């Protein structure tokens, strides 16, 4: 997988991170990518979304207001939607790092001196994402992902059962409502149609089981679900304190569930995370 972040107006490469060798020169490729996008916009009134070229699959994402073009290239057997979803995460991260509070197009045109070292730190962010995705490809199959969904759904169900058995629950429900509204503002949640399937209501609790693994980046969804469960448990611990929360976990048989499924949790690399989450203060 190779990643380009380009100034869509000038074609200058702001960031280039390569994980595979390309025969052509990096700058020549950058110019070609920009020219192809300009051509399709001019001739067909819209930019390139995905093409196959040079034995690779290429996906494009343009941020017109900021004069930015994001391009990713990988093997042709990589699903275009997954590649585009990963590129979108990189796009959102770059905008958050460099263009969140400024007119980035104006900055590139009037203020930037052409020194791309300003953007070198972003390569580390790309690198972190890339290695997470490669790890996910090695350990996460669709069957494993369904196991993960099932475990997380059961844990959320048991956690919500705690609320149904206590008197002072309105305040907790309000905190969960607020937390979930903030959770839905995450760029990944907004962009990923499968994450949009996560729901929460006071009557039925959290529902995550409708997520389709073939239509999402499984690693991104798993990370989002881990963050969600962490936030739910944090709300309970803040409300009840560690000792009473531990009592509620025990009463709801959460520890029995974890022990009975410990082999599966180890296979999915969830054992340390869940045991620490429920046992540590």
Tens of pLDDT, residue by residue over 72-99, are 888 877 777 778 888 888 998 999 889 8
- What are the φ/ψ torsions at residue 57 (nearest 5 degrees)? -100, 130
pLDDT value at position 42? Answer: 42
Burial 5-15 (b: 16+ CB within 10 A, else e): bbbbeebbbbb
**Across the strands, what pairs with 69?**
6, 62
Confidence of residue 230 (pLDDT cuts 50, 70, 90): very high
Q: Cβ-count burial of 263 within 10 angstroms (0-12 exposed, 13-18 middle, 19+ buried)?
A: exposed
Coarse DSSP helix, strand, coil percentages of the chain, rounded to the nearest 5 percent: 65, 15, 25
| Span(s) in the chain for CATH 3.30.450.50 | 2-139
Tens of pLDDT, residue by residue over 186-216, are 887 777 788 888 999 888 889 998 888 777 7
If residue 203 lies in a helix (H) or strand (E), which one and from where to where?
none
Nearest of 224, 15, 220 to residue 116 by alpha carbon: 15
H helices within 45-120, ranges in order?
A: 80-94, 104-106
- When mean pLDDT is compared across 47-51, 120-124, 269-273, the lowest value belongs to 47-51
Tens of pLDDT, residue by residue over 134-187, are 766 655 567 788 889 899 999 999 999 888 777 778 888 999 999 999 988 888
Q: Per-residue pLDDT for 43 more than 50?
A: no
pLDDT value at position 152? Answer: 93
For the entire predicted model, the pTM comes to: 0.52
Residue range 2-139, CATH number: 3.30.450.50
Radius of gyration over alpha carbons of the chain, in Å?
22
Measured CA distances, 80 to 26, 48, 50, 197, 263 (Å): 22, 13, 7, 21, 34
pLDDT value at position 67? Answer: 86
Per the CB < 8 A criterion, the answer to whether 95 and 66 are in contact is: yes
End-to-end CA distance of the chain: 40
Tens of pLDDT, residue by residue over 237-254, are 998 898 899 999 999 999
Confidence of residue 279 (pLDDT cuts 50, 70, 90): confident
Please report, rounded to a whole number, the percentage of residues in the chain having pLDDT higher than 70.
86
Angle at 138 between CA 134 and CA 141, to 5 degrees: 115
């Amino acid at each position: 997988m190779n990643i380009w972040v380009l100034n869509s107006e000038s074609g200058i490469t702001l960031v280039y991170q390569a994980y595979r060798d390309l025969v052509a020169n990096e700058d020549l490729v950058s110019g070609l990518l920009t020219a192809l996008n300009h051509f399709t916009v001019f001739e067909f009134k819209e930019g390139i979304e995905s093409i196959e070229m040079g034995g690779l699959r290429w996906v494009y994402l343009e941020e017109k207001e900021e004069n930015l073009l994001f391009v990713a290239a990988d093997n042709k057997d990589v699903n275009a939607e997954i590649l585009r979803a990963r590129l979108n995460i990189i796009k959102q991260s770059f905008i958050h790092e460099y263009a969140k509070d400024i007119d980035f197009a104006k900055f590139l045109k009037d203020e930037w001196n052409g020194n791309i070292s300003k953007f070198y730190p972003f390569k580390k962010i790309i690198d972190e994402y890339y290695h997470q995705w490669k790890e996910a490809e090695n350990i996460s199959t669709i069957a494993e992902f369904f196991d993960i969904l099932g475990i997380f759904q059961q844990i959320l169900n048991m956690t919500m059962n705690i609320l149904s058995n206590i008197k002072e629950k309105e305040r907790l429900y309000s905190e969960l409502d607020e937390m979930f509204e903030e959770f839905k503002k995450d760029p990944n949640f907004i962009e990923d149609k499968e994450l949009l399937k996560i729901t929460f209501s006071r009557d039925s609790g959290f529902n995550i089981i409708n997520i389709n693994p073939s239509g999402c980046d499984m690693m991104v969804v798993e990370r989002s679900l881990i963050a969600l469960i962490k936030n739910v448990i944090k709300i309970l611990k803040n409300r009840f304190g560690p000792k009473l929360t531990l009592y509620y976990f025990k009463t709801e048989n959460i520890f029995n569930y974890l022990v009975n499924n410990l082999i599966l949790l180890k296979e999915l690399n969830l054992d340390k995370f869940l045991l620490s989450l429920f046992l540590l203060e």
